[in-house]
Amino acid sequence: MFQQDIDEVSSFLALSSVEVGKHLYWKIGNYDIHGQVFIVSWIVMSVLIVLSFMGTRNLKRIPGKFQNFMEFILEFLQDIAKNQIGEHEYRFWLPYISTIFLFILGSNWAGALIPWKLIHLPEGELAAPTNDINTTVALSLLTSLAYFYAGLTKNGLGYFLRYIEPTPVLLPINVLEDFTKPLSLSFRLFGNILADELVVSVFTLLVPILIPLPVMILGLFASSIQALIFSTLSAAYIGEALEGHGDH
C-alpha cells in the first residue's frame, strides 16, 4: 500500500513536469526568457515606432492620406480615453491607453496575418505575443498599477476608503474585485486570441485553400474588438479610481 502511494506521487510529479508544446527559451543569468514572445513583440513594437515616425515627421496643414489616417487613429484613441476617464484627466493617461491598444492590436494582427509557421525555429513556433498568458497577465498588471497610481495621486490614502463603501461589510468583496480585474482582463484576451489561432490552424490543415480565408477575416475583426475591450476597460478602471472617495 505504501509503495503504491509512492508510485502515485511519482507519477503525479512526472506528469506535472510535462510541458504542452515546445518553446524557445533564452538563458539570461538565472532566468529563462520566452524567446518566441520577445521576437514577435520586438517586431510589433518596431513596426509601431516606424509608423509613428513616418506619420509625424512631416506634418502639413493640409494633410495627405497617411496623415489623415494617423489623425483618425489619434482621435479614435482620444475618444476612448475621454469617454472613460473624463474631459479634464484623460490627456495624462492618453499615452498609456494608446500604447496598450496599439500594442495589443498589432500583436493580435501579427498572429492573424503573418504565416509564422513558415519560419522554423530550433524549438517551438512564432505566434502572437497575446496568445501567451505571460504577456496578457503582464499587460493586466500594468493596468492594475496604473489605476492604483491614479487613485493614490488623486485622493491620497483616502483612496482606500472606497473599500468600505457603502458599508464595511463589503470590504472582502471590494478587495476581491481588485484581484479579479486583472485576471478577467488577462484571461479574456489570452483565451480569445489562442482560440482564434487554433481555429485557423485546424481549418488550414483540413481545408488549406479557401475556407480559412473568411475565418482569418473574422479573426482580424475579433482581434480588433479584443484590443478595444482591453483598452476601454483599462481606461474605465483608471477613471473609476480617479473618481475616488472624495467625489462621492
3-state secondary structure of 19: coil
Give the separation between CA 3 and CA 5, rounded to whole angstroms. 5
C-alpha cell at 71: 489623425
Give the separation between CA 199 and CA 207, rounded to whole angstroms. 12
What is the residue extent of each domain of the chain?
24-243
Tens-digit pLDDT profile for the chain (248 aa)? 444 444 543 443 343 333 445 666 677 777 777 777 888 889 999 999 998 888 888 878 877 888 888 889 999 999 999 999 988 888 999 999 999 999 999 998 887 777 666 667 666 677 788 888 888 999 999 999 998 998 888 888 877 777 777 777 778 887 888 788 888 888 888 888 877 777 766 766 666 666 567 767 777 888 889 999 999 999 999 988 888 554 44
Q: What pLDDT, on the 0 to 100 scale, is given for residue 240?
A: 87
Q: Where are the beta strands (DSSP E) in the chain?
A: 25-28, 31-34
163, 171 Cβ separation under 8 angstroms: yes
Q: pTM of the full predicted structure?
A: 0.80
Q: Which helix (H) or strand (E) holds 77?
A: helix 65-85
Give the separation between CA 226 and CA 190, rounded to whole angstroms. 10
Q: What pLDDT, on the 0 to 100 scale, is given for residue 9?
A: 39
